[in-house]
Amino acid sequence: QQQVKQSPQSLIVQKGGISIINCAYENTAFDYFPWYQQFPGKGPALLIAIRPDVSEKKEGRFTISFNKSAKQFSLHIMDSQPGDSATYFCAASMGNFNKFYFGSGTKLNVKP
């Protein structure tokens, strides 16, 4: 049973558009929700993260929206650029960070 469900599997966005990736979880004990970005041939790298005590976190063009009651969170990439083309993973963790549960990933392609 997948702990974190991610959609869509792939996404094509025009340069300058908004990319939106969604994740849902069931376990209410999760208290840390990061997003990782992965370029081809590389390992994932932390992009942005949020805790459930806030509904939104913004870092530059990247925003996490968090809906605790719906057990959903999403990544918004504003003014998407070709350099944002990568695979994005949402994840969830609880307590002392010894286990992270990842979504299945979204391959984003930003067309110039």
The residues binding another protein (CB under 8 A) are 6, 9, 32, 34, 36, 41-46, 49, 89, 91, 93, 96-105
Q: Which is nearer to another protein, 17 or 38 (CB)?
A: 38
Q: How far is the CB of 33 from another protein (least distance, A)?
A: 11
Q: Is 52 helix (H, G, I), strand (E, B) or coil?
A: coil
Going by C-beta distance under 8 Å and a sequence separation of 6 or more, which residues neighbour residue 66?
A: 33, 50, 52, 54, 55, 56, 57, 72, 73
Q: Which is nearer to another protein, 17 or 105 (CB)?
A: 105
Q: Which is nearer to another protein, 41 or 112 (CB)?
A: 41
From residue 81, how far is each of 12, 78, 101 by CA, in Å? 11, 9, 28
